């Protein structure tokens, strides 16, 4: 017998037994809790951790097409599309304290891939919906919800949210408001990469106009956001990228310069004697280094720092550990720090700085000072091609899943 039926039968028995015997309320309540927990543990639609599952795959939230994985592994194998229909009445009349969101677009980021592979520190309870970032539109709110209204654009406020789906029902606390007068692609890609870039530029060193920042992985989405936010703040940037074929290299350098990069160089160039001249030409050594690669690339960044400078590691794309020259530690007193946007969000959930940051970034978007990375737009039905492309190196584009066909024509290039 399945657990839903078990639960209904128990309720039946419970009602009858209350009439038959006047047994103590306390013991029946305890029994109810025990049985509910038992059912919750075995029901596929409730799961053993209600709060966690609600965020991922509860009956409340798997209300539309979604990309689900039931086990960790290769995203190409474990990710499947499921279709559930959110009833019209639920769409227009959500439960009290709930918001109905129609997802519009969601990117495929490295962390999404790692989460499905089971190698990311956040492991959603399974089955889970893929995707951590994206923008949705509020379709309806429960009677007592005052923080959102129909038509608002929202971003998820926590990781493991499962943005690769068409609809969901969630709590207001799981959402953040974002301006709906900015381009869809900007909104869909704002919460993770530009916010990380913004925090790393603000929170580790007192950087002032004219100061120099060096980074690797500079063509990544975070790297491009760093270039643009730094340029808006009048900081100079040295941007390290991996070597590639000449026509691609020229095009990439041109693109990063058009975003505001001061210098764009290859990993090889950083090791050459000419690097000294390049730094000299900027008038200052870098105060801040941002590392998303690790290995030798991180070693070279650390070597370029000025005395007392800081290197912030926020990614490990090479899968190599961070190796730092002993001399930089001893004689230059450099600092090594780590950054994780998820932790910042958890620690600053109620901090007004969180909304201020989004507002400031939206303003940069409006002023055309912050562009999203180039994106390939794919309908959610064609997710397999998009995932395969996202896992290839040197694509220079972000894969973006579009949930509603009418947005497939969005282009900003
Ligand atoms: N800590 C945080 O809060 C946080 C927040 C956001 C992102 N991140 C991390 O930041 C990194 C970049 O994320 P993203 O979304 O901006 O990435 P993205 O747009 O997908 O770009 C990936 C970048 O990684 C480079 N790359 C790929 N494989 C590499 C390898 N084996 N060695 C060296 N470089 C390699 C790529 O260079 P090519 O073009 O040459 O392939 C490209 O620059 C990821 O590690 C991500 O997890 C961390």
Domain membership of residue 212 (yes or no) is yes
Q: Are residues 225 and 174 in the same domain?
A: no
The reported pLDDT for the residue numbered 26 is 38
* Total Cβ atoms within 10 A of residue 7: 18
Q: What CATH number is associated with residue 389?
A: 3.90.180.10
Last residue of a domain, one of 323, 343, 363: 343
- Find out whether the beta carbon of 108 lies less than 6 Å from any atom of ligand 1: no
Give the residue, out of 111, 217, 301, with the most ligand 1 atoms within 8 A of its beta carbon, to mutate for a pocket test. Answer: 217
Whether residue 385 is found in the same domain as residue 316: no
Q: How far apart are CA 157 and CA 19, in angstroms?
A: 46
Q: Are residues 37 and 58 in the same domain?
A: no
d(CA 199, CA 288): 13
DSSP string, 183-252: -HHHHHTSTTHHHHHHHHHHHSS---TT-EEEESSTTSHHHHHHHHHHHHTT-EEEEEE----HHHHHHH
The tens digit of pLDDT for each residue in 167-225 reads 988 999 999 999 999 999 999 999 999 999 999 999 999 999 999 999 999 999 999 99
31 vs 14, 36, 143, 193, CA distance in Å? 10, 8, 33, 48
Residues 219 and 312 in one domain: yes
Question: Does 57 qualify as catalytic in the annotation?
Answer: no
Q: Which of 57, 69, 120, 314 is catalytic?
A: 120
pLDDT at 385 over 80: yes
Residues 264 and 298 occupy one common structural domain: yes
138 closest CA partner among 146, 129, 126:
146
268-276: long-range contacts at Cβ-Cβ below 8 A with a sequence spacing of 24 or more? 268/243, 269/240, 270/240, 270/300, 270/301, 270/304, 271/300, 275/304
pLDDT at 164: 96
From 322, 343, 364, the end of a domain falls on: 343
Residue 138 inside a domain? The answer is yes
Residue 364 lies in a domain: no
If DSSP codes are grouped into helix, strand and coil, which group holds residue 272?
A: coil
Whether residue 393 has its Cβ less than 6 Å from ligand 1: yes
- Ligand 1 contacts CB of residue 109 (under 6 A): yes
Residue nearest to atom 8 of ligand 1 (CA): 315
Instruction: Indicate whether 292 and 330 sit together in one domain.
Output: yes
Is residue 368, in this structure, part of any structural domain at all?
no
Q: Which tens digits make up the pLDDT trace of 33-49?
A: 444 433 333 322 222 22
DSSP 3-state assignment of 312?
A: strand
Instruction: Report how far ligand 1's centroid is from the alpha carbon of 33 (Å).
Output: 46
For residues 210 and 330, membership in a common domain is answered with yes
Average pLDDT estimate for 385-413: 83
pLDDT class of 17 with cuts at 50, 70, 90: very low
pLDDT reported for residue 108: 97
Cα atoms in the 13 Å half-sphere on the side-chain side of 352: 0
* pLDDT tens-place string over residues 142-176: 989 999 999 999 999 888 889 999 998 899 999 99
Q: Which of 29-33, 54-58, 65-69, 226-230 reaches the highest mean pLDDT?
A: 226-230
Token pair for 125: 């309870």
Q: Is 332 exposed, middle or buried (0-12, 13-18, 19+ CB in 10 A)?
A: middle
User: Which sign does the torsion angle of CA 310, 313, 317, 320 carry?
Assistant: positive
Among residues 343, 364, 388, which one ends one of the domains?
343
d(Cα 248, Cα 253) in Å, to the nearest integer? 9
Share of the chain above pLDDT 70, in %: 81
Q: Are residues 201 and 239 in the same domain?
A: yes
Specify the pLDDT at position 130.
96
Tokens of 151: 């038509």
Which range marks the domain in which residue 38 is found?
3-43
Question: What is the pLDDT confidence band of residue 232, given thresholds at 50, 70 and 90?
Answer: very high
How many angstroms is it from 68 CA to the middle of ligand 1?
24
Between helix 193-203 and helix 221-232 the angle, nearest 10°, is: 50
Query: Ligand 1 test: best mutation among 75, 106, 107, 110, most atoms within 8 Å of CB?
Result: 110
Q: Is residue 358 part of a domain?
A: no
Helix%, strand%, coil% for the chain, nearest 5: 40, 20, 40
Please state the domain count of the chain. Answer: 3
- CATH number for the domain spanning 318: value is 3.40.50.720
Range scoring the smallest mean pLDDT among 72-76, 93-97, 238-242, 345-349 = 93-97
- Nearest ligand 1 atom to the CA of 222 is 16
Contact between 196 and 314 under an 8 Å Cβ cutoff? The reply is yes
- Which has more confidence, 366 or 84? 366
The token pair at 339 is: 């950054």
| Assigned domain for 199 exists | yes
- CB of 221 within 6 A of ligand 1: the answer is yes
CA nearest neighbour of 62 among 21, 34, 24, 103: 103
Q: How far is CA 350 from CA 98, 176, 328, 353, in A?
A: 19, 11, 38, 8
pLDDT higher than threshold 70 for residue 10: no
Q: Are both 159 and 110 inside the same structural domain?
A: yes
Q: Give the span between the Cα atoms of 55 and 61, in whole angstroms.
A: 8
Exposed / middle / buried, residue 406 (Cβ in 10 Å: 0-12, 13-18, 19+): exposed
Question: Are residue 34 and residue 79 in the same domain, yes or no?
Answer: no
**Mean model confidence pLDDT for the chain:** 85
Cβ(319)–Cβ(294) under 8 Å? yes
E strand residue ranges, 8-113: 66-69, 79-82, 99-108
Q: Are 86 and 175 in the same domain?
A: yes
Q: Are residue 300 and residue 242 in the same domain, yes or no?
A: yes
CA distance 291 to 272: 19
What is the band of 406 on the pLDDT scale with cuts at 50, 70, 90? confident
Q: How far is the CA of 318 from the centre of ligand 1 (A)?
A: 9
- pLDDT tens column, 351-361: 999 999 999 99
List strand residue ranges (DSSP E) for 92-192, in order.
99-108, 128-129, 135-141, 153-156, 167-170, 175-178
The residues with which 288 forms a beta bridge, in sequence order, are 213, 310
365, part of any domain: no
The pLDDT value given to residue 64: 65
Mean of pLDDT values over 361-366: 98
What residues contact 84, with CB distance under 8 A and at least 6 apart?
A: 62, 63, 64, 65, 66
Q: Rounded to the nearest 5°, which phi and psi values hold at 56?
A: -110, -55
Inside any domain, residue 264: yes
Q: Would you state the pLDDT for residue 95?
A: 81
Instruction: Please write the tens of the pLDDT for every residue from 265-314.
Output: 999 999 999 999 999 999 999 999 999 999 999 999 999 999 999 999 99
Pocket test for ligand 1, best of 292, 299, 301 (most atoms within 8 A of CB): 292
Which string of b and e fits 155-179 if b means at least 16 CB within 10 Å? bbbbbbbbbbbbbbbbbbebbbbbb
Average pLDDT of the segment spanning 11-33: 42
């Amino acid at each position: 017998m399945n657990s839903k039926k078990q639960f209904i039968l128990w309720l039946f028995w419970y009602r009858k037994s209350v009439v038959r015997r006047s047994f103590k309320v306390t013991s029946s309540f305890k029994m109810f809790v025990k049985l509910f927990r038992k059912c919750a543990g075995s029901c596929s639609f409730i799961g053993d951790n209600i709060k966690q599952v609600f965020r991922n795959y509860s009956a409340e939230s798997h209300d539309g097409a979604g990309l689900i994985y039931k086990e960790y592994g290769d995203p190409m194998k474990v990710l499947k599309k499921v279709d559930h229909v959110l009833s019209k009445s639920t769409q227009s009349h959500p439960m009290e304290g709930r918001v109905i969101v129609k997802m519009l677009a969601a990117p495929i980021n490295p962390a999404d891939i790692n989460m499905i592979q089971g190698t990311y520190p956040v492991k959603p309870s399974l089955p889970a919906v893929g995707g951590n970032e994206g923008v949705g539109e509020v379709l309806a709110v429960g009677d007592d919800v005052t923080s959102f209204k129909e038509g608002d654009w929202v971003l998820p406020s926590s990781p493991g949210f499962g943005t690769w789906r068409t609809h969901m029902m969630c709590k207001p606390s799981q959402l953040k408001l974002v301006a709906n007068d900015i381009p869809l692609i900007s909104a869909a890609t704002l919460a993770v990469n530009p916010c990380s870039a913004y925090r790393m530029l603000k929170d580790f060193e007192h950087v002032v106009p004219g100061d120099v920042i060096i980074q690797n992985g500079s063509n990544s989405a975070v790297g491009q956001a760093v270039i643009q936010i730094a340029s808006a703040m009048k900081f100079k940037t040295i941007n390290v990228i991996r070597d590639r074929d000449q026509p691609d290299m020229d095009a990439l350098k041109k693109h990063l310069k058009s975003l505001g990069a001061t210098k764009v160089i290859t990993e090889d160039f950083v090791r050459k004697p000419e690097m000294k001249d390049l730094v000299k030409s900027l008038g200052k050594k870098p105060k801040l280094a941002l590392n998303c690669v690790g290995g030798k690339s991180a070693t070279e960044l650390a070597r370029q720092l000025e005395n007392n400078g800081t290197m912030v590691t926020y990614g490990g794309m090479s899968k190599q550990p961070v190796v730092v020259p002993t001399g930089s530690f001893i004689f230059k007193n450099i600092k090594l720090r780590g950054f994780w946007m998820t932790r910042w969000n958890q620690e600053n959930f109620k901090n007004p700085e969180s909304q201020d940051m989004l507002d400031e970034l939206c303003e940069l978007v409006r002023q055309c000072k912050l562009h999203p990375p180039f994106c390939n737009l794919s309908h959610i039905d064609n997710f397999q091609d998009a995932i395969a492309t996202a896992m290839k190196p040197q694509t220079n584009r972000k894969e973006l899943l579009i949930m509603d066909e009418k947005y497939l024509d969005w282009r900003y290039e």
